[in-house]
Amino acid sequence: MKWDQPAPREQEAGDRSWNVVRSAWEARTPLPRPRRSRLPLVAIAAAVAVVAAALSPPGLAVLGSISDAVRGERNAKPALFSLPSPGKLLVVSERGVWTAAADGSRRFLGPYRDAAWSPHGLYVAVSGRTEISAVDPKGNVRWSLSRPDVSFPNWGGSRTDTRIAYLTTSRLHVVAGDGTDDVDAGGLPAAARISPAWRPGLPFVVAYADTRGRVYAYEPQTGALRWRSAPLPDPRFLQWSSDGRYVLVVTRDKLAVLRGGKAVSLRFGRVPAAAFRPGTHAVAEIRRLGATSEVLLGRRVLFRGTGEFRQLAWSPDGRWLLVTWPTADQWIFVRVAGGRRIVAVSSITEQFGGGAFPSVAGWCC
């Protein structure tokens, strides 16, 4: 090529990249226009108003209500008496792994560090420091494999054929659902410390991120690499859409949706958690705005509160969204379909053995 000749694939690369750049641009938060001349006066006036309001009786009442907000939803139930939707939750606390059934009953499965439901909720894959196991919902161990530094099990497949992907240190492993044929996905780059994600259905395709943030779609049965993405540094979470067409990637400062390895949507900004709504391509996400957190579905704000929202988990039917709220030690269930409704539950940490605020590892069928 000469200096003025196009480089190979210049045109199509430009078209693809324009789609990504446009998505990032459209999803940005525009900067407020500065109003230099008015700003000091407005700031002084606001400061005076805040001090005056805080010292007045109505002002003290407002401060009280803010304090209430930090304490969480006012009409929260004192304990998890039931789930608002069918299904069962898998919870990982400092003490170990628990299940919570629709009637509110909780069962301790054992002192494990990570957990994942099998595709139809018949078993749970659990991992300790040096072991990965499959247990039934009563906690009986069906099989175990000893491996160094096991973490992030994720179980995918159909009723008749399943696989579990997991990490040992930084290697991706895949083992059959009956504990046989454990293989190290050799030749692939070292994995980032986040859970791999199975594409729904067959053939088996697992997405995982490497340490540079590239996302790979890998077929463990053939060893074929379907695609890999551009680097998305510091990845935190991967999830396929229900139809297996898109992969949601949450990183430290970006939220991307990939199709075939290419970003079809990319937005900058810190998103602590996001998740595809089951059966759709809609994404629920948490955003932080100073001391406030909010949960959005598209542009619709579903719930807002003071402090930190940490995780999102959709009910299997996609009608309810669970938001975990460590600051208030609460779970908030938000009904998204058929009219908005909020069900809050308090004292979550105590109900799962105390210690740190527990995490939700899945809401299954």
Name the residues that contact other proteins, by CB under 8 A.
1-3, 6-10, 13-14, 16-18, 20-22, 24-26, 28, 30-31, 230-231, 266, 268
In the sheet that holds 274-276, the strands lie side by side as 274-276, 283-289, 292-297, 300-306
- Our measurement of the distance from residue 270's CA atom to the centroid of its chain's CA atoms, rounded to an integer in Å, reads 13
The b-or-e profile of 69-94 (16+ CB within 10 A means b, else e) is beebbeebbeebeebbbebbbbbbbe
The smaller minimum CB distance to other proteins, of residues 16 and 335, is found at: 16
10/339 with CB nearer other proteins = 10
Smallest separation (angstroms) from other proteins to the CB of 21: 5
d(CA 72, CA 1): 64
CB of 271 to other proteins, least distance (A): 15
Decide whether 238 or 256 has the Cβ nearer to other proteins: 256
Q: Which is nearer to other proteins, 266 or 345 (CB)?
A: 266
Strands 197-198 and 150-157: unpaired
The residue to which tokens 């809050």 are assigned: 344
User: Does residue 339 contact residue 360 with C-beta atoms inside 8 Å?
Assistant: no
- Using the structure block, give the residue that is written with the tokens 């009910």: 315
CB of 186 to other proteins, least distance (A): 14
Whole-angstrom distance, CA of residue 92 vs CA of residue 125: 12
CB of 209 to other proteins, least distance (A): 15
CB of 218 to other proteins, least distance (A): 18
Nearest residue (CB) to other proteins, 3 versus 36: 3
